[in-house]
Structure 1
């Protein structure tokens, strides 16, 4: 995996720290090992783990967004994507991994310890509840999420975390045009502005994905996010 990771990062034009490829390879090994007893990923081929997880996440670093010394919360992180690859590739990042499943969060803590990663908080919480907590609301330079929910719902979960002037980066498929159209009202209501999405190709496999970018213009109004049942029943 390490050699494939190094080739892919070079193809993306990235110059990561010398230990990035070995750490990502070890992360991949730990992921596939744990996946035998816990449902972390449907992707079990090592080459596909590199392409569809690690290089897919690494592509966020090619968008012209400055991740250096920034605070980032990865909402609904699952097995740590995209947050952990971003931290490995940009060690100055101050990262919070948030997930609603406790056993995933405990595994992520063990991975961070095994990889000697600092400035990473692994948080077991529901996104719509944690966004109301002091220090979290309007508290992060960057917020990421990867295929957690439809974009109108995702914006209500994630935009409350973004500082004014910060960015929400949602990783989506290239056929997400209808979601973009439907999310416009929610984005405006929550204090954001939709920027042009960016499509990219993962090197080595020809798969194309999209990053939806939302800039935070003003604090999210009180009352948002609502309870999850309400968000689902009546999307903005």
Structure 2
């Protein structure tokens, strides 16, 4: 995995921008993920080469979309196996990262992995996204919010935009078939204080797969009352 990651970072034009040990750390993280995946559902990808490309390099491509340098803060909502938040921490050590997931066992494993990799300035917390967004210190507080979830953007928007500080960005990782999602989410984005920017498409090195990042900048604090409970979000999307 290490050499695949190193070559992929070079192809993306990122190798000179990241720590020298980043490819090795990302490969070790991938190894730990696939090992744990045998007893815990973390990823549908079980091949190391595919994990290197479709997890590590896919996450790394976010560096093409925004400037994470300078002790910025990021929360990765619905992080699952730690993607993309944990790779971003490895690639940008100054980034202060919070990994948020609703499954306690995953959170425990993520904290163990961060300790094993010797990472500081990163924490995994066990909470529901719509509840943690109401907590002081989390609401309207982060420079960046990431989500790699499969939910529609108008659902993800209500979960994620409340975390973004004014001037910050929500970076939604999507496929290239997501153009209609932005239109459908227009009301949600505007209501919660955001404005959609131009999508950024990128090809994952060696995978012949094109993915898209939808950047949404926060222009105003999120209105009180949002996010609503998850059942309400699903039943009555904004």
Which category of TM-score, normalised to the shorter sequence, fits these structures? over 0.9
Distance 1:150 1:205 in 2: 24
Distance 1:148 1:199 in 2: 17
Distance 2:149 2:229 in 1: 20
After superposition, the C-alpha distances for 1:70-121 in whole angstroms (9 at most, x for unaligned) are: 0000000000000000000000000000000000000000100010000011
Query: 2:98 matched to 1:96?
Result: yes
2:187 aligned partner: 185
Query: 2:67 matched to 1:66?
Result: yes
Q: Which runs of 5+ in 2 are unaligned?
A: none
1:38 aligned partner: 40
Distance 1:121 1:37 in 2: 23
State TM-score, norm by structure 2: 0.98
Q: Which runs of 5+ in 1 are unaligned?
A: none
State TM-score, norm by structure 1: 0.99
Secondary structure (helix, strand or coil) at the match of 1:137 reads coil
Distance 1:7 1:199 in 2: 20
Query: 2:27 matched to 1:9?
Result: no
After superposition, the C-alpha distances for 1:7-65 in whole angstroms (9 at most, x for unaligned) are: 001111012101101101100110010000000000001110011000000000012x1
Q: How many residues of Structure 1 are paired with residues of Structure 2 in the alignment? A: 235
After superposition, the C-alpha distances for 1:166-203 in whole angstroms (9 at most, x for unaligned) are: 00000001001121110001000000001011111011
**Aligned partners of 1:196 and 1:213 also within 8 Å:** yes
CA shift, 1:147, in A, is: 2.3
Distance 1:203 1:25 in 2: 16
1:205 aligned partner: 207
CA shift, 1:2, in A, is: 0.6
Return structure 1 stretches of 4+ with deviation > 4 angstroms.
none
> How big is the alpha-carbon RMSD for the aligned residues of Structure 1 and Structure 2?
0.6
